[in-house]
């Protein structure tokens, strides 16, 4: 009797593992098709113009960090070749429009006050730029909370890399994954 229970338990575990494997494989294939299928075969080059910072408050490092991170993300995750030519298949321009620190107060007296840094980047994406065929514009915005005990300059040291990475991922996903 114990042998039968052990056998059934083993088969149940095997069945669960097999189902989990199939589900994980399906997710992997679905993700792979999203990335690979989003670029037409004729698109080979991209021009990424330097990002501009037109926010009310200017962090002098931010525009260059965005430019570098967007270039790195696109070149390392697509088949596109970077060029400086205006005849590129895709041309991307970005403008940092919002860089605003603000105070937020904790919900209760026991909760410490926090501040929030909100960053918005406006992106202009010209597809088939040499033919002036299609232009898509969109904004990506993220907010990052930090302790009210920190000055903005102290918080920037902790938040800027995360902010640039998160917003770059949002830009990439909007352009190449249709999210």
Q: What percent of the chain has pLDDT over 70?
A: 71
* Position 42 pLDDT exceeds 90: no
Residues 75-103: pLDDT tens digits?
999 999 999 988 899 999 999 999 999 88
Of residues 61 and 1, more confidently modeled: 61
Task: Report whether CATH 3.30.420.110 matches the domain 42-176.
Answer: no
The domain ranges of the chain are 1-37, 42-176
* Closest of 111, 169, 95, 179 to residue 145, by C-alpha: 111
3-class DSSP string for 128-178: CHHHCCEEEEEEEEEEEEEECCCCHHHHHHHHHHHHHHHHHHHHHHHHHCC
- The whole-number pLDDT of residue 133 equals 73
- The whole-number pLDDT of residue 34 equals 39
Average pLDDT estimate for 97-125: 82
Dist CA 166 CA 141 (whole Å): 10
* Helix segments in 38-151, DSSP class H: 62-77
- The whole-number pLDDT of residue 29 equals 38
Residues 119-169: pLDDT tens digits?
999 999 998 755 667 899 999 999 999 999 999 999 998 899 999 999 999
- The whole-number pLDDT of residue 56 equals 94
């Amino acid at each position: 009797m114990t042998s039968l229970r052990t056998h059934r338990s083993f088969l149940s575990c095997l069945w669960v593992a097999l189902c989990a494997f199939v589900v994980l494989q399906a997710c992997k294939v679905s993700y792979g098709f999203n990335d690979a299928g989003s670029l037409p075969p004729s698109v080979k080059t991209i021009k990424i113009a330097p990002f501009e910072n037109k926010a009310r408050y200017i962090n002098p490092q931010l525009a260059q960090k965005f430019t570098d991170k967007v270039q790195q993300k696109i070149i390392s995750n697509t088949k596109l070749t970077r060029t400086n030519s205006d005849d590129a298949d895709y041309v991307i321009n970005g403008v940092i429009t919002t860089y605003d620190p603000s105070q937020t107060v904790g919900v209760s007296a026991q909760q410490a006050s926090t501040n929030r840094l909100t960053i918005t980047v406006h992106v202009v994406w010209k597809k088939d730029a040499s033919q002036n065929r299609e232009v898509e514009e969109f904004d990506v915005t993220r907010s990052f909370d930090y302790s009210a005990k920190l000055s903005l300059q102290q918080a920037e040291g902790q938040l800027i890399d995360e902010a640039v990475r998160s917003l770059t991922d949002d830009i990439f996903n909007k352009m190449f994954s249709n999210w």
